[in-house]
Amino acid sequence: MAWDFETDSEFQEKLDWMDEFVRDKVEPLGLLGIHPYDVKNPKRNELVRPLQEEVKEKGLWACHLGPELGGQGYGQVKLGLMNEILGGATFAPIVFGCQAPDTGNAEIIAHYGTAEQKTRYLEPLLNNEIVSAFSMTEPQGGSDPTNFVTRAEIDGNHWKINGEKWFSTNGKWADFLIVMAVTDPDAPRHERMSMFIVPVDTPGVEIVRNVGVYGQDNGSESYVRYTDVRVPADHLLGKQGGAFAISQTRLGGGRVHHAMRTVGNCKRLLDAMSRRAVSRKTRTGTIADYQAVQMQIADSYIELEQFKLFVLKTAWMIDKYQDYRKVRKDIAAIKALMPKVYHDIAHRCIHIHGSLGVSNEMPFVGSLIGSMVMGIADGPTEVHKVTVAKQHLRAYRDVADPIFPEYSLLERRARAKEMYDPVEEIVEAAE
């Protein structure tokens, strides 16, 4: 039996270096008004490239990738512990070569792309010379692929794409988009769609506008319209009709990374509210002396530790089984739990800071909005809860209990008497 909560000393040294490096060198980049995905900005590259080189020298670049692609091929537990440190530092994923949605898009191209596509798109993407967007959700269909209407039809040796996509993250910076479109509307629901690489400068690709999450000055969530967009037939990724399966595989590990970055964000919030609690004076001491504040600190600590252990256990299961399908219930569960933990801790942090907490001089309201984003991104919380319930109930599909089930006290007492008959002798002996 193996059950351990320790990190081996060699990897812990790497985590310790990461913690100091991110805090001292990477976090400040997020305060300079430069966007991490603006890879065509010379000033951005002047600041970011040397930090990326430091990461590469430490052997910590793109660790989610296998050695054949320049990474370490780390499992989800190690990646989770790394992402806990990266959470909260805007530039950290870029500096460590593990930024979404590029990581998932790179994984798709690595598995399904042609040699030419890997040279043209994957190599510069892995080197952070370009960035990409995942163009999936639609204005009328949200994130439910079964309601998508964007069509891709074969036209000679090209595919012709028509439709609209909503909230294609980083579309304004992207060199190419991975587009999910209906190729066979009469097929079973989860076999109707396919995925395509679409260079953003292809005629007919129009970014209608770039939308910002509330509080952002410059939005990068692109509303994209595709009008008779023609891409070569070999820009299909995987097999025709395979988009749903590809997207689910792509999102599985990413949800663990999101969750551990949320753990990192929540740790920062708990640290801030704790510092405020012991520093803010009242007539009789500090606000940390009041039970109401103590309850908020305690609840935040308890919820954070529970959530972190659940996420790491899920990461461990992924590493153990090497099959996302076997861990689908737990992946959905941590995705459903994540926004609530994040929201509750952010809310308490704001409240303990009072008027300063809701001001634009503190980042806490951004965290509150971030928790709401986590309840929507990669599928809404309600969908993940349905998945958890359905997966859990599979073990009970053959159960058909009577009105008075066998686990009732009457039934259990009757079975106990049969097991230890004659009961009268037991009673007499006891007396």
CA-to-CA dists, residue 256 to 89, 190, 380, angstroms: 17, 24, 16
- Cα 294 to Cα 274: distance, rounded to the nearest angstrom: 9
**Exposed / middle / buried, residue 256 (Cβ in 10 Å: 0-12, 13-18, 19+):** buried
Where residue 147 falls among pLDDT bands split at 50, 70, 90?
Answer: confident
For the stretch 169-185, pLDDT in tens is 999 999 999 999 999 99
For the stretch 112-141, pLDDT in tens is 888 899 999 999 999 999 999 999 999 998
Residue type, 196: F
Where residue 431 falls among pLDDT bands split at 50, 70, 90?
Answer: low
For the stretch 216-261, pLDDT in tens is 777 889 999 999 999 999 999 999 999 988 887 666 667 888 899 9
pLDDT of residue 162: 98
Sequence-separated (6 or more) residues with CB below 8 Å from residue 71: 61, 62, 63, 64, 65, 97
The SS3 of residue 117 is helix
- Segment (H or E) for 163: strand 158-169
- Cα 427 to Cα 431: distance, rounded to the nearest angstrom: 6
> Which residue in 324, 372, 316, 373 sits closest to 344, CA to CA?
372
For the stretch 307-321, pLDDT in tens is 999 999 999 999 999
- Cα 100 to Cα 220: distance, rounded to the nearest angstrom: 13
**Exposed / middle / buried, residue 420 (Cβ in 10 Å: 0-12, 13-18, 19+):** exposed
Q: Report helix angle 243-279 to 328-353, nearest 10.
A: 30
Superfamily of domain 9-113 in CATH is Acyl-CoA dehydrogenase/oxidase, N-terminal domain (1.10.540.10)
Q: For residues 87 and 23, is the Cβ–Cβ distance under 8 A?
A: no
For the stretch 273-295, pLDDT in tens is 999 999 999 999 999 999 999 99
- Cα 431 to Cα 421: distance, rounded to the nearest angstrom: 17
Q: Is the pLDDT of residue 423 over 60?
A: no
pLDDT of residue 430: 61
pTM over 0.85: yes
Question: φ, ψ for residue 42 (rounded to 5)?
Answer: -60, -40
Mean pLDDT of 348-365: 97
- Cα 381 to Cα 342: distance, rounded to the nearest angstrom: 13
Q: Is the pLDDT of residue 53 over 80?
A: yes
Between 1.20.140.10, 1.10.630.10, 1.25.40.10, 3.40.718.10, what CATH number should domain 245-394 receive?
1.20.140.10
Domain 132-237 of CATH type 2.40.110.10: yes
Domain ranges, ordered by start, for the chain:
9-113, 132-237, 245-394
**Comparing 9-113 with 132-237, is the CATH topology the same?**
no
* Residue 170 backbone class (left: φ over 0; alpha: ψ -120 to 50; beta: rest): left
Strands 236-237 and 205-211: unpaired
Hey, what are 355's tokens?
Answer: 């008027």
Exposed e or buried b per residue across 349-359, where buried means at least 16 C-beta atoms within 10 angstroms of its C-beta: bbebbeeebee
Q: For residues 39 and 131, is the Cβ–Cβ distance under 8 A?
A: yes
Mean pLDDT of 381-388: 95
CA-to-CA dists, residue 12 to 16, 87, 395, 407, angstroms: 6, 17, 39, 48
